[in-house]
Structure 1
């Protein structure tokens, strides 16, 4: 019977990791936009597979990265990519969020080691399942790559992450994505619509109209949380500095959430609501009203 060295097994696991992602992408693309798909169930069963493999001691001689950390990356990659194909306003998004909550509610994954002691499955990003390790990393990676996907998928993904943040998953880490979305949409100098971008190539700058739905998702599904983080002046180590337009307006602090930044977003939406494009103007006005609804504490500071 053939035996494989540790190096061969690690290479095999790394190759499977790449193939897994390619397979997920291909399957989701082939299925297309389907709010009634059963991907959520497949994801739940994959969670069970990770659990069973750990309890059976599968690959227990491998380093943690190859024993179960890559499994976690694959799980959350699947979740984030699946969100792109579920309509932002459809309840199926909540069902996908529930899979993350279900995993987290399973608590710390553990089993007895050779010494008969209970050993928790720890990773470089916390414990499985209670800390949902690597979820934030995979979600952030998905968003960073969203500039190359259709705007409808960007909107869907943004709505999903906003829903996750609203229920406190890895609180407050997912707020970084909100800052990225809002900075690109409301703090960056860009054309109002694609027709005004002055370019017909694939690398043309995204317009306000392209990005506004993704930004709207954060106020619609996570408004109270965004207001709370603003009041708390929540900052991060990541790239969350204010955008060019906010810097011109001397918004301080210049990084993270703040009341001043919230008010800048509100005022920027007021400005956009008076633009010549009726569809964009109407969405901006709805967003401004949503901010007012969920931002009562900040509104009371004026």
Structure 2
């Protein structure tokens, strides 16, 4: 007796899309309840095995698996966004990605009619070592929502920055590296107010994020990235991963140096990506910020545990320490 005919692929696709929307809503609600309870316990779980199982057993083209991957990366990003950098949920999720990368490539079975099919997704990546579709999902999150105050508050930006740093520290560069570069560009290379400003009296003016706010995000990236940033800046990360990197020239708004970096003379205006000169500028800039004394602030703001002056210079000092340690560690590894 022959197997029953497989349902029409388009029917399956539409059904899955509707179920995916419901699943995303349920995940968001579960995550929100967990956060409201203070992130006690394990929280919502990202089920990577669900994707692997269907990938290995599907009789349909990869488009259906792409939809599952989009949902998985959405969940990963949301957990990163809502969990404190020290919370075990963020650490556990990063370790899960390490484990996935180490599983190697999953063999893709033929189509239901026996014909072979490509095991590459639409971005050319394969499961799992290359994390297909993760890079565009992360870049879209960063470019469309990260700096939008209706989507992220400062604490959530710090959480995501820490996650980006963690990913760099374990050699996941494709996507996180561009996001980290753009974040440093926005915070250190762009002319923005040093301290927070208030909106106008009518509340109509969009208040830009200040250096004092942004320095915390850069601090989290540099602190958790360990040697990741200097490996990228010195072009030594090739041996750490076989995954092809993004072409930074395709993202000039994210990868081109900011006006302050260009004016410093350390960075060429036509640069796209990391460079030793850019690394040198970041160090120079945070050294200037660490010496900032906020002459317009009241003396009370300079207390050890006080206002913006302490916050700005304290995080700048931490970045200097983190960048210096990364540089020394990399130099040590070169001479082993």
Give ranges in structure 2 of 5+ residues lacking alignment: 1-5, 238-246, 295-308
Match of 1:53? 54
Normalised by the size of structure 1, how large is the TM-score?
Answer: 0.84
Cα root mean square deviation, aligned: 3.0
Q: Which moved more, 1:198-207 or 1:48-57?
A: 198-207
Equivalent residue of 2:99, what SS?
helix
Match of 1:256? 273
1:147 aligned to 2:159? no
> What is the distance in 2 between the residues matched to 1:246 and 1:197?
28
1:229-251 superposed Cα distances (whole Å, 9 cap, x missing partner): 11129972323000121122233
Residue in structure 2 matching 1:163, options 141, 161, 166:
166
Residue in structure 2 matching 1:242, options 254, 257, 266:
257
Match of 2:99? 102
> What is the distance in 2 between the residues matched to 1:182 and 1:256?
11
> What is the distance in 2 between the residues matched to 1:106 and 1:120?
19
1:219 aligned to 2:218? no
Give ranges in structure 1 of 5+ residues lacking alignment: none
CA contact (8 A) 2:134 2:175 kept: no
1:142-182 superposed Cα distances (whole Å, 9 cap, x missing partner): 2221112011111111111211121112x354210111110
> What is the distance in 2 between the residues matched to 1:128 and 1:228?
25
1:124 aligned to 2:122? yes
Match of 1:38? 42
CA contact (8 A) 1:233 1:256 kept: no
Match of 2:328? 296
**Residues 98 and 299 of structure 1: CA distance in aligned 2, closer, same or farther (over 3 Å):** closer
Deviation at 1:91, TM superposition (A): 4.0
> What is the distance in 2 between the residues matched to 1:135 and 1:256?
20
**Residues 122 and 36 of structure 1: CA distance in aligned 2, closer, same or farther (over 3 Å):** farther
**Residues 187 and 4 of structure 1: CA distance in aligned 2, closer, same or farther (over 3 Å):** same
Normalised by the size of structure 2, how large is the TM-score?
Answer: 0.76
CA contact (8 A) 2:94 2:166 kept: yes
Equivalent residue of 2:53, what SS?
helix
* Pairs aligned (count): 290
Which structure has the greater CA radius of gyration? 2
CA contact (8 A) 1:193 1:209 kept: yes
> What is the distance in 1 between the residues matched to 2:88 and 2:12?
41
